[in-house]
Chains A and B, each alone.
Chain A
């Protein structure tokens, strides 16, 4: 069974079609990357899966369960999203404790205290940060809180939208290591959106390259490392990336 199956997904804003008949399968336990330039529609695919872009057509199913277009409480416990900028995605007036407890309260789950402590330990946040506000944390700590929040309902699929591009390289390394460890420990599947190919190389198994709303190539990360991508545009993207990032 696939963790995530997307078939012929199209999303339009008004007359502009930003995602055009995209199909993706993320196998259970796999880490899959969507790469492309800004405006290629890669983030919109994530938003459609998360329920933040309701005007889509096609089929989306998560662990075999089709996703409805409205607010889907059952989906929330199967898949969660982590956003690019932790400062923008955390409530500025809520403590870490409140942020982490809220999903449990919404879903009527008990044992909040133990669960909050457990998840904070899992993402490597010290206990003393529990009653702090987002502005009292560093960028890396904030992103840890955002990841912890996404994990509160024990989803098996994480949608990651540029989770490290707002962070320093040294902090990026910590968060990437954390994501890799959590995937191993909790058997998670990832759908990662990024334009940073080295991050894909570190964290993912397969990738799809998007351009103007369409997928131009789906291949293994191994092919990316060996320079065996087949599509001309994919190769162009890799070349441009090699000019400005590490070799």
Chain B
């Protein structure tokens, strides 16, 4: 593994409730280099909160603490809001789950992608337009000239997701966080969107944090996997060795997925009392 891009030590995210504070991320530590790391877990396991806290997107009353949260030589915990704005997009960017809710409905696609670039650097308009075109081609949009002038409601979900990827990658960040980037998409376009992310990440030598609830998908796509349960990392392994995972939670998750060639009469269900989280 190369020198870590991102270094997280003892990260905690807490929200106050009427019953007292609830810790949704409970002291997790990991490092990400220029590699593909998958974070897997069920809803409520804290995987998305981990992704958001790296970009410092958790708002008050939620609080984030850590012994260390560094991106290269920048300390994310103490950076000013202005510094954070320079980091978001330029150095770390995030692809969200659903393009329907993440794209601006009243801006054309070309203008939105261009904005992601001009926020961070001054460029002549022609150059911006050219870069946007190249980026649209890179995410395999066949007719960039036409798509440039369309609004988000005029494109399909799969195309919307590719537009979002284009927008996130145009400032050429060091680290991409993809939070369930394909779960709102059809199986038929899922493979293509993953392929595009994979190509661009490898070509530009970026780091990738891939957040998903789908263990098998993550194991095909990433180098390393962190399994989260109830705010903690319960297991870490190389993606290729997922089959040898030992934690009962990981094994339970793996077993509960139906297969294309299914012969079991009943699917095994997670028995949550089989293990305990301290």
Binding site for B on A (CB under 8 A): 37-39, 139, 168-174, 176-177, 180, 195-199, 201-202, 224-225, 237-238, 240-247
Contacts and interface: CB of A to CB of B under 8 A. Distances in A.
Interface string B258-272: 111110111111100
B269 A174 contact: yes
A241 B187 contact: yes
A242 B157 CA distance: 21
Contacts of B157: 38
A201 B190 CA distance: 20
Nearest to A180: B266
Given A37-B186, A170-B269, A177-B269, A244 B42 contact: no
A247 B260 contact: yes
A37 B188 contact: yes
B258 A198 contact: yes
Given A173-B267, A173-B269, A244 B217 contact: yes
Contact of A168 (B42, B190, B266): B42
A43 B115 CA distance: 38
B140 to A, nearest CB: 15
Contact of B270 (A38, A170, A195): A170
Contacts of B258: 173, 176, 198-199, 201-202, 246
B194 interface: yes
A187 to B, nearest CB: 18
A177 B42 contact: no
Contacts of A246: 216, 257-260
A180 B267 CA distance: 10
B134 interface: no
Contacts of A196: 187
A170 B189 CA distance: 24
B214 interface: yes
Interface in B95-134: none
Nearest to B266: A177
Contacts of B252: 170
Contacts, number: 101
B43 A168 contact: yes
Contacts of B156: 38-39
A200 to B, nearest CB: 9
Contacts of A197: 187, 260
Given A169-B257, A170-B270, A198-B259, A245 B213 contact: no
B5 interface: no
B215 interface: yes
B74 interface: no
A244 B268 contact: no
Given A169-B214, A246-B260, A247-B259, 10 more contacts: A37-B186, A38-B156, A170-B253, A177-B266, A202-B262, A225-B260, A238-B260, A244-B191, A245-B214, A247-B216
B50 interface: no
B257 A242 contact: no
A197 B262 CA distance: 10
B182 interface: yes
B187 A225 contact: no
Given A170-B253, A225-B262, A176 B191 contact: no
20 contacts: A37-B188, A38-B157, A38-B186, A168-B43, A169-B213, A169-B257, A170-B42, A170-B252, A170-B269, A173-B268, A173-B270, A176-B267, A195-B187, A201-B260, A240-B187, A244-B187, A244-B190, A244-B217, A245-B187, A245-B257
Enumerate the 5 nearest inter-chain pairs by beta-carbon distance, A residue then B residue, closest first. A173-B256, A173-B267, A198-B258, A202-B258, A201-B262
